[in-house]
Amino acid sequence: MKTRLVYSPHYDFSILGIEKLHPFDAKKYSKAWALLQNEFGNTINQYTTFVSAPISDQDLLSVHTEQYVQSLTQSKAIAAVIEMSPLALIPSTFLQKGLVTPAKYATAGTLLATQQALEGAIVFNLGGGFHHAFADHGEGFCFFSDAVLALTIVRNNNLISQDDTVIMIDLDAHRGNGFTSFYEKDKSVGIFDLYNMQAYPGLRDDTNDEFPFIIPLRAGLGSEDYLQLLKEELPAFLNTYKRSKLAFYNAGTDIVATDKLGGLNVSYESVIERDKFVIDQLRALKIPTVIMTSGGYSKESYKLIAELASYLVRVNG
Distance CA(150)–CA(182), nearest Å, equals: 13
Residues 214-238 have pLDDT tens digits of 999 999 999 999 999 999 999 999 9
pLDDT at 54 over 80: yes
What is the distance between the alpha carbons of residues 240 and 243, in angstroms, rounded to a whole number? 8
The pLDDT, as a whole number, for residue 21 is 58
Check residue 313 and give its pLDDT.
Answer: 96
Average pLDDT score over residue span 124-153: 98
User: Which of 54-58, 168-172, 184-188 has the least mean pLDDT?
Assistant: 184-188
Cα(37)–Cα(53) distance, integer angstroms: 22
Catalytic (active-site) positions: 132
How confident is residue 84, by pLDDT bands cut at 50, 70 and 90?
confident
- Name the nearest CA neighbour of 109 among 53, 64, 157, 42: 53
pLDDT confidence of residue 250: 98
* pLDDT for position 205: 76
What 3-state DSSP class applies to 22?
coil
**What local confidence, expressed as pLDDT, does residue 218 receive?**
98
State the pLDDT at residue 25.
82
Query: What would the pLDDT profile of 6-41 be if each residue is shown by its tens digit?
Result: 999 999 998 766 656 566 688 999 999 999 999 999
pLDDT tens string 186-207:
999 999 999 999 999 999 876 4
Sheet holding 246-250, edge to edge: 48-50, 2-7, 121-125, 289-292, 246-250, 166-170, 189-196, 214-217
pTM beyond 0.85, yes or no:
yes
- Whether the per-residue pLDDT at 242 is higher than 80: the answer is yes
